[in-house]
Structure 1
Amino acid sequence: MTVTLMWEARAESGRGAELLEWARAQRLRAEPLRRETFTAEPDRVLVMTWWDAPGTDADVPELPEPPAGLLTRPVHRWRFVSRDVTP
């Protein structure tokens, strides 16, 4: 089964590039099947990682909380199970 972790954060105004740099620098204790990083206005960063795991409650690495003062609100996190892939 493929489990996808979605990590989304919003930086303080004008600090989106700093948050992006921080997120890209984070190393996980294991390598995911795939990792993608996205940005959106205003100052948002989204990181998605795909894992071969038995379910959404599996013990897979997640990105930590960014440094204090960098965000406007707590990080949002979701876990999904892939149901199909369309090429």
Structure 2
Amino acid sequence: MTVALMWEARAADGRGAELLAWVRAQAPVGEPLRRETFRAPQDRVLVITWWDAPYDAELPELPEPCPELVIRAVHRWRFESVADH
């Protein structure tokens, strides 16, 4: 089964580039099948990692950045892949 972990944060005003650099510097523990990093308006940063694991497996996640770097807590979601019919 493939599990996707999503991590999304919104940077404090004017700190979007710093948040993106911080995310890029975070090396995942373990080897995901794939990792992609995205950015969006309002200084949002999104990271998706894909893992070959059961849905409820204990998987490494990106940590919370320092509170001064973001305007709210990080949002996290977990998804499992489904077969297209």
Which range, TM-score by smaller chain? over 0.9
Extract unaligned runs of 5+ from structure 1.
none
Number of equivalences: 84
Q: Please, what is the CA RMSD of the aligned residues?
A: 1.0
Extract unaligned runs of 5+ from structure 2.
none
Structure 2 Cα separation of the partners of residues 35 and 14 of structure 1: 25
Task: State the one-letter code of the partner of 2:24.
Answer: R
- Offset of 1:84 from its aligned partner? 3.4
Identity across aligned pairs (percent)?
A: 69
Structure 1 Cα separation of the partners of residues 22 and 5 of structure 2: 18
Pair 1:71-2:70 in alignment:
yes
Task: Output aligned runs, 1:1-87, within 5 Å.
Answer: 1-55=1-55, 57-84=56-83
TM, length-normalised to structure 1: 0.92
Structure 2 Cα separation of the partners of residues 79 and 70 of structure 1: 24
TM, length-normalised to structure 2: 0.94
